[in-house]
Amino acid sequence: MHLFPQLRSARLIGLVAAIVAGPTAAVSQGSTAQPPAARAVIPDGEMLLLSQMPTSVALDRYLEQLRTDFFILDADSDGKIIQRDADLHTLMETIEMRTNSWTAVMRYDLDGDGSVTEDEARRVARYDHRTSRAAAAFGKSPPGNAEEFVERIVGSIMELDTDKDGKVGLAEAGKFRQSSKQQYVALNGQSGRVRRALTLEGAAGELSLANYQAAGEMLFRKIDADNDGKISPQELDNYRRRPEPADAKSGNDAAEAAQKHLREQAEIARKKQEAIDAERAACAMPAASEKAKIVLLGSYETEALSSVTIGSQDAVVHAGRVNVEPGDDPLYVVIASYRPTIWQFSGAVERVERVVLTSLSSGRSSGNAQQSPAVGATGIPRERISLFSRSNCLSYFSEAPSSGSLQAVAAIRLSAGKSPDVVAAKLSVGAYNIPSGRIDTVREQRKQGLVIRKSEGTLNIIGNTSNILIEAGPSRARDDMQSYWPGGVVEIDPKAVVASEPVATYEVLPAQAGLVQLLANGTVTQNSSGEFIVRKNIRFPPGLYGAHSVTFLIMKGAPYPEGDPGHSCVIVEETGESKGAVCRSR
């Protein structure tokens, strides 16, 4: 049973190569075998031209065939053959290979849910080999052969289950025997034929139709020994059997160099495609069911902090709520945020068939596209949660419509198979309500007036000040915390979180919440200037960047704190040394 049909062009190249190459050794009719005479090596460019040269065809018909072949090789139809055409053919051949892989594997998907289980693979394989099994039952063939073949088929399918969830999805199915096929097609597909064309004499990285036909005509006249305007089978055979000239070493070296270059280019193309496939696999989403309503939610951050962190004590992890409204339709929920966030699902969570979570930040002050996004969820079973392995798979957005939201919609349509039915976004979120898309925020509920904070100097206010709050003196950590995160700190059980990395309770809460915590337990105090005095062993609160930065005074006898001070100024009493950000004199 052939799981993958060969590409038509690959068959043609392979057939012509076999015809032109001829036998590899010759044995005389006598009793002693004679070593074969050294034959001239046929360059790759000539091999390509020979593939379009059937015998007993006149020159004008051959040139017309080359014209047609040129248009096939010219992938972007710009009238010339260059490396860009090879790249475009590689892309299209990869799509064809992936489609063939999907077709070969997904024919085992009996229930049509977009994935193949071991039981499904075995049922289909036994169905395909029912005649062999019947023959074995009547003693017409060895009884073990059919079942062994079935198990080999099942094994070849289930080895694609890289995430070990017991089923092979579309992203995994697309990997079926990709490596060997990519290398074969890179050499023998249309991309490989373009690279062969570019080895023709005078190509120099670019080949026109006129030059392609001229090279073909030159080869035609070289093979046409009797000059009758046609290539006979004998002339073609004589040409491919011609002996190697005495001075052909340099020519053979050039041909070998050209072949080596082709192999190198094929390897480069294979590795490039493997990188593309790996990135696509890292960003793949499960297909949505036919009845599912897709809800796409976006935000920069939430209004609350989490009591637990994801992956690192130096990460600032937010907490947000998702209320699932009553209803009958299943929901496919995609949430893209900038800040690392744990989303707490509540309400009619049985409606949720899939949750896909991502954040642009991987946890620290700046994102790393190669790392997984720092995200998690509670209230949804682990098997219904999908987490990307890269943080740049889906961009966050805080407004819809916007360029970010449109790009996210397109990505979901491509991967999940459907466009979102609901798109909702806001810069800072308290809670999402789905599928209505309503967003709740604490700030809007409080309707806080304008706050002007000034630590020194004179401030003159002219006009009505009834809705203005003026704060003077040093920064107050608790007030700052409520200003930055009006939702406060949400207590979350780390064991209840399904996340991209291990979840742990914070040793010290992030930013101003951590400062409040340190002040409350007495490990730091604050002077009249608002600077934080450290006399005991502490850990810097994570996230003290930008407006969240403060000044720490590490007093004599206190060890230098663990963690990241961010942009904060740190002064060590014992040495007078300033660490961290540039400290401003007061």
Q: Which helix (H) or strand (E) holds 92?
A: helix 83-106
| Sequence ranges of the domains in the chain | 292-506, 507-580
pLDDT band at residue 140 using 50, 70 and 90 as cut-offs: low
pLDDT band at residue 262 using 50, 70 and 90 as cut-offs: low
Q: Which helix (H) or strand (E) holds 553?
A: strand 551-554
Q: What is the pLDDT of residues 374-429, one digit of tens each?
A: 999 999 999 999 998 888 888 889 999 998 899 899 889 888 888 999 999 999 99
Residue 359, token pair as written in the block:
């954040």
Q: What is the pLDDT of residues 271-330, one digit of tens each?
A: 766 776 777 777 888 999 999 999 999 999 999 999 999 999 999 999 999 999 999 999
Q: Answer yes or no: is pLDDT of 79 > 50.
A: yes
Please name the residues in contact with 238: beta carbons below 8 A apart, sequence gap of 6 or more.
225
Residue 241, token pair as written in the block:
């059997």
User: What rounded mean pLDDT belongs to the chain?
Assistant: 81
Residue 462, token pair as written in the block:
């002219």
- Which sign does the torsion angle of CA 459, 462, 465, 468 carry? negative
Q: Specify which of 165-179, 280-294, 328-342 reaches the highest per-range mean pLDDT.
A: 328-342
Burial class (CB in 10 A: 0-12, 13-18, 19+), 527: exposed
What pLDDT was estimated at residue 259? 64
Using the structure block, give the residue that is written with the tokens 């190198």: 264
pTM for this one? 0.55
